[in-house]
Chains A and B, each alone.
Chain A
């Protein structure tokens, strides 16, 4: 079973619309990540989040993206104005410790932008 739960499992939206993807860790952890995977491609880093702040973000994570942990539990990824090329699987992950420990992924949200 995945150690983070992601909702929804599939989101279909029209280009230009805002979407919010949610992640709920099973236990209380401090280090969270969002990755995405375009169909048939490798898993790409988007952003890391620690202590309610972004610690690192990739070039993909531009101004249309934002993350927050509003209630101390749910971890969200917001895409403000979706584009066709945002269609991908989005994975939330958590880590036990910062160094030398693996990421544990959820089963992802499939985002389809039409």
Chain B
């Protein structure tokens, strides 16, 4: 069935270390993926996206990796800062999204940054 999920509910890292947040998806037909950051009391905030014709995309301090063979998506955050503490969601363009633009979200990973 159609599902997007994350491997770990909580990730705790030391300030300054690199963080890696993982996501597994099941719909091999998905061709667009997004990472969102959600801080307490706020809506999901767009971080970075990637299309299925790419394996890697870099932003400012963030990198998204896509492995279509094993249907795995990861978000790497370099030099993690206290402000990075939040819940991180991956999302995919679901089945039929070419007509509606609907995104399907995973469960979320809570990133805790220790000072």
Contact = CB atoms under 8 A, between A and B. Distances in A.
Chain B binds chain A = yes
A43 B89 contact: yes
Contacts of B61: none
A75 interface: no
Contacts of B98: 98-99
Contacts of B32: 99-100
Interface in B10-50: 31-32, 34, 41-46, 49
B74 to A, nearest CB: 18
Nearest to A35: B105
B81 to A, nearest CB: 21
A50 B98 CA distance: 13
A2 B43 contact: yes
Contacts of B105: 35, 42-45
Interface residues of B, number: 28
B102 interface: yes
Interface residues of A, number: 27
A45 B101 contact: no
The interface residues of chain A, by DSSP majority, are classed as: strand
Interface of A: 2, 31, 33, 35, 41-45, 48, 50, 55-56, 91, 93, 95, 98-108
27 contacts: A35-B105, A42-B105, A42-B108, A43-B44, A45-B103, A45-B104, A48-B100, A50-B100, A56-B100, A56-B102, A98-B101, A99-B93, A99-B97, A99-B101, A100-B32, A100-B93, A101-B101, A102-B34, A102-B46, A102-B49, A102-B103, A103-B34, A103-B44, A103-B101, A103-B103, A104-B46, A107-B42
10 nearest A-B pairs in the assembled complex, by CB-CB distance: A105-B43, A56-B100, A43-B105, A48-B100, A102-B46, A55-B100, A98-B101, A100-B32, A107-B43, A42-B105
